[in-house]
Amino acid sequence: MARPVFIVDGSRTPFLKARSGPGPFTPVDLAVQCGRPLLARQPFSPDDFDQVILGCVNVIADEMNPARVAALRLGMGEDLVAFTVQINCGSGMQSIDTAYRYIREGHADMILAGGTEALSHAPLVWPNSGVRWFAGLATAKGVAAKLAAAFKLRPRYLKPIIGLERGLTDPITELNMGQTAEVVGHLFGITRAQSDAYAAESHRRLAHAQGAGFLKGEVETAFTRDGKFFDHDDGVRPDSTAETLARLRPVFERPWGQVTAGNSSQITDGASWVILASDAAVAKHKLTPKAAIVDSNWAALDPSIMGLGPVMSATPMLQRNGLSVQDVETWELNEAFATQVLGCLAAWNDDKFCREILKLDGAAGEIDRDKLNVDGGAISLGHPVGTSGNRIVLHLVNAMKRLGTRRGVATECIGGGLGGAMLIEAV
């Protein structure tokens, strides 16, 4: 017996671009910053939830199982079960999907599902050779042995590795995520100019959404203990144009690559929550659902072209619901890389790809750019990896309400060769 599942509310922090050194908030700090005002505006008590599920990729050592730490810090009570999920860039959507399934199957009535990530806190890691040297020194007994162990030190042992860089490199193919976007771009003939134009448009759309107040109620001001506050996604560059972006050098594959810092998603800190409820919880607490979750789907593919994850995950989901790509009125397709987003659009419009891989009768067709990422995306907002999947669902729901559309899909590519998609309907 599958029960309907509703999204009743949600909020997120501003996405804060990682500048120099660790930002002001840890992953749980971020989750608390946007969780507090969200819980405060509910007509029910924070301990009325059945579970807390939080996506987070780079968990810091002080906050193991950040879901539980966040739940306790949010005052949700000692007896609330909370766990953390990790599927790279899909973590924030995985939390929603897990919550959706618990509620649909009748195991829970109300779940707080989120994502959080503080990429600016990603650690510097010692090389294994250095760690081994230190362990040898620590276990050596006696002065002579200690000295002998100490003398084995080589300068390279102490050269730190930037943890984030390793995290963004696929361990199977040894390709950095940016390189996988280059591969997708190559397969579908995406040009540098197209990517830059797409990126400039992302900034333009976000700046417009911020100015028009479209993010009010979605973005909650975050306050630091030293008296600063952040009230908007600060990576936005409204003055970016295709021309200015064209001047940037490729970052991953020089000199001929097309993926630049300007047409990639930004490295950012941020957290996002949505509240999922059964119809029983909606009735009990007199809630007003914003939207219903109709279906979700995960797919896997060759890690070297992980950017096609949205096509691979969303297409079968639409098919089994009897829908075509064109039936979706609003799309949130996570902007890992402009080249990768454009690659996905091209794949849906590619006859051979659609026939052989998606088993369609022919090309799925064009997706109207007016329906896609209407208020910008990770290129302008940033991509706190564990959070983005949550944010695109939250923003999809809010955008659909504003636009009055009935059906929407949130979907993302996932490092390591995965894709996730969620089908949302207005209520």
**128 scored as a contact of another protein (CB under 8 A):** no
3-state secondary structure of 153: coil
Angstrom CA distances, 298 to 96, 156, 311, 341, 419, stand at 13, 41, 11, 18, 6
Instruction: Give the range of 140-148, 215-223, 392-400, 408-416 binding another protein by CB under 8 A.
Output: 215-223
Instruction: Give the range of 51-59, 218-226, 271-279, 296-304 binding another protein by CB under 8 A.
Output: 218-226
CA pair distance 94, 88, nearest whole angstrom: 10
**Shortest Cβ distance from residue 3 to another protein (Å)?**
28
Of 134 and 223, which CB lies nearer to another protein in the complex structure? Answer: 223
**Shortest Cβ distance from residue 326 to another protein (Å)?**
38
CB 184 within 8 A of CB 341: no
**Shortest Cβ distance from residue 225 to another protein (Å)?**
4
In the numeric block, which tokens belong to residue 83? 């766990």
Of 23 and 417, which CB lies nearer to another protein in the complex structure? Answer: 23
Instruction: Give the range of 39-47, 164-172, 191-199, 408-416 binding another protein by CB under 8 A.
Output: 39-47
CA pair distance 393, 400, nearest whole angstrom: 11
Treating both helix axes as pointing N-terminal to C-terminal, what angle do 177-187 and 338-348 enclose, rounded to 10 degrees? 40
**231 scored as a contact of another protein (CB under 8 A):** yes
**229 scored as a contact of another protein (CB under 8 A):** yes
Of 46 and 420, which CB lies nearer to another protein in the complex structure? Answer: 46
> Active-site residue numbers?
89, 383, 413
Beta strands 161-162 and 110-118: pairing type? unpaired
**43 scored as a contact of another protein (CB under 8 A):** yes
**Shortest Cβ distance from residue 118 to another protein (Å)?**
15
**Shortest Cβ distance from residue 335 to another protein (Å)?**
28
Of 36 and 186, which CB lies nearer to another protein in the complex structure? Answer: 36
Helix-, strand-, coil-residue percentages of the chain, each rounded to 5:
40, 20, 35
Sole binder of another protein in the list 19, 45, 302, 326 (CB under 8 A): 45
Of 165 and 231, which CB lies nearer to another protein in the complex structure? Answer: 231
**288 scored as a contact of another protein (CB under 8 A):** no
**Cα end-to-end span (Å), the chain:** 20
Instruction: Give the range of 104-112, 217-225, 267-275, 398-406 binding another protein by CB under 8 A.
Output: 217-225
**Shortest Cβ distance from residue 35 to another protein (Å)?**
10
3-state secondary structure of 320: helix
CB 411 within 8 A of CB 333: yes
**37 scored as a contact of another protein (CB under 8 A):** yes
**77 scored as a contact of another protein (CB under 8 A):** yes
CA pair distance 137, 361, nearest whole angstrom: 65
In the numeric block, which tokens belong to residue 257? 């690559």
CA pair distance 89, 57, nearest whole angstrom: 8
**Cα 164 off chain centre by:** 15
CB 127 within 8 A of CB 424: no
CB atoms < 10 A from the CB of 266, how many?
Answer: 24
Sole binder of another protein in the list 228, 247, 254, 286 (CB under 8 A): 228
**75 scored as a contact of another protein (CB under 8 A):** yes
Instruction: Give the range of 74-82, 91-99, 254-262, 390-398 binding another protein by CB under 8 A.
Output: 74-82
Sole binder of another protein in the list 5, 7, 18, 32 (CB under 8 A): 32
Locus of tokens 């090389």: 127
CA pair distance 124, 126, nearest whole angstrom: 7
Of 156 and 225, which CB lies nearer to another protein in the complex structure? Answer: 225
**361 scored as a contact of another protein (CB under 8 A):** no
Sole binder of another protein in the list 126, 134, 157, 223 (CB under 8 A): 223
In the numeric block, which tokens belong to residue 382? 């940033």
CB atoms < 10 A from the CB of 9, how many?
Answer: 23
**Shortest Cβ distance from residue 79 to another protein (Å)?**
7
In the numeric block, which tokens belong to residue 224? 């630091």
Q: How many chain residues are in contact with another protein, going by CB under 8 A? A: 24
CA pair distance 327, 93, nearest whole angstrom: 22
Point out which residues bind another protein (CB under 8 A).
Answer: 32, 36-37, 40-41, 43, 45, 72-75, 77-79, 220-221, 223-229, 231
